[in-house]
Every structure is written in structure tokens, then in C-alpha cells.
Amino acid sequence: MIELRSVPTANGQKVHIALEETGLPYSVSFVDLVAGEHKTAAFRALNPFAKAPALLDPDGPGGQPIALSESMAIVFYLAEKAGGDLLAKGAQARAEELMWAAAISSSVAMPFAMQFFATNLAPEPTPWLETMMTQGCRDALAVFDQRLAERPFVMGEQFGVVDCLLYPVVATSAKRLAGGLSGYANLQRYEADLADRPGVARGMAVSPSIQIEAS
């Protein structure tokens, strides 16, 4: 059975949704970041960068154990392990799928993380940084809002790995911005539609109390 060490954040939600959508058997325990559990030697064996979520699959490729970290890598691994139904078909679609997934992990995650740090963790206010990173968040949301103007899911007609990665950003991270998804009609529709999807709903319910944070 897959063992997941998770956190009640958007990054954790991405993996929770992928697990529920694939139907793979798993157990989950939550890492106490305040107590520093992510900095222990045992946890660093799963992720040397000391970040959660992290996954251990005792029955990995070739029947050998595998430890994985980084939400994007975990979600792709789970999709492939489950048979690939969540993955795009064809070389061009797979390349574009990887691009959109990477964009969420970089072009989207960076401004959201920095906006959180600037507004919640900085020792003193830095208006310039707050303004720049908040605008970066809004610019990133605008890209996906436009992308979803003509398709129900990021890659087209089928729910897939990129949606596992994007939905928690829309449903959790964006909530801390003033106005939330106001002004992003396509993202509002996307959030409402996916909220009713059973696998997504179960994944979002894994964490008993979601924290709005940096991811």
C-alpha cells in the first residue's frame, strides 16, 4: 500500500486528488511542520529538501520500493502506476501536458509562494514585493482562465493530471487573494464543476482542516 506523508495545504491536496482519482490503495499521515517533523532524518530520507508531501511506495517499478517528493512528480507517477487514464494521449499532447504541469509548479507556484511570504511571514511590510507577487498570482490565474474559455479541463475534454495540480490552486490558494476568483469567470466555472466530481471531492476532504498557505 502506498504511504503518503502529507500536509493540509494545496500541495497536499494535489496528491490527495490524484490518489482518489486513480483509486490506488493508500494510507496517509500528516507531517507536523510546527514540530519540525519534516526536518528529521527519517523524513529527509523521503525528501532531502525536507518538504511535504512525500510518498513511499513499497511496490514501485519492478516490485522495488520507491520514495518520491514534489507534488508534480508524485501525481505523474500515480497516474502512470494506475494505467495512464489521467495522462494525455499522443506525443504532442503529452509534451503540452508536461508544459502545463510544469507551469503550475513554477510560473504559478512561485508568485503564490512569494505573495504568502510577503503578506504573512515577512518581518516587516514590503509593499513593492506584495504588489508584484499579488499581480503575479493574478497574471497566472488569467492564463488558465483564458485556457479554460474553450475547454472544460486544462487539456481538453478529459480530466487529467494537470487538473489534479491546478484545482487546489484555484480552490485553496486563490482564496487568500482579495476578491478570490472574482473576474475569472472560466475559473469560477471550473472550480464549481470539479467540486462536484467525486474523486476531487474525496481528495479535498482528506485533510480535516485545510490551511491557506504558500502553494
What is residue 70's predicted lDDT score, i.e. its pLDDT?
Answer: 94
User: Is 113 found in the same domain as 188?
Assistant: yes
Q: Kindly state the cell numbers that stand for 191.
A: 472550480
Inside any domain, residue 106: yes
- In whole angstroms, give the CA distance from residue 111 to residue 131: 11
Residue 107 lies in domain? 91-197
Q: Check whether 122 has a pLDDT greater than 90.
A: no
Which pLDDT tens digit goes with each residue over 9-35?
899 999 999 999 999 999 999 988 777
Residue 32 φ/ψ, nearest 5 degrees: -85, 95
- State the pLDDT confidence band at 208, using cuts at 50, 70 and 90: low
Burial class of residue 124 in the structure, from the number of CB atoms within 10 Å of its CB (0-12 exposed, 13-18 middle, 19+ buried): exposed
Q: Check whether 187 has a pLDDT greater than 80.
A: yes
Inside any domain, residue 206: no
pTM above 0.85, yes or no: yes
Inside any domain, residue 148: yes
Q: Check whether 163 has a pLDDT greater than 90.
A: yes
User: The cell 505523474 sits on which residue?
Assistant: 76
What is residue 126's predicted lDDT score, i.e. its pLDDT?
Answer: 81
- State the pLDDT confidence band at 75, using cuts at 50, 70 and 90: very high
How many angstroms separate the Cα of 184 from the Cα of each of 14, 84, 100? Answer: 21, 31, 18
Q: Check whether 212 has a pLDDT greater than 60.
A: no
What is residue 99's predicted lDDT score, i.e. its pLDDT?
Answer: 98
| Runs of H (alpha helix) within 83-184 | 91-103, 109-116, 127-147, 161-171
pLDDT, mean of residues 22-50:
85
User: Is 114 found in the same domain as 37?
Assistant: no
Q: Give 197 or 43, the one with higher predicted confidence.
A: 197
Lowest model confidence (mean pLDDT) among 1-5, 90-94, 114-118: 114-118
Inside any domain, residue 185: yes
What is residue 214's predicted lDDT score, i.e. its pLDDT?
Answer: 38
User: Is 164 found in the same domain as 73?
Assistant: no
User: The cell 490503495 sits on which residue?
Assistant: 25
Number of domains present in the structure of the chain: 2
Rg (Cα) of the chain, in Å, rounded?
17
User: Is 100 found in the same domain as 143?
Assistant: yes
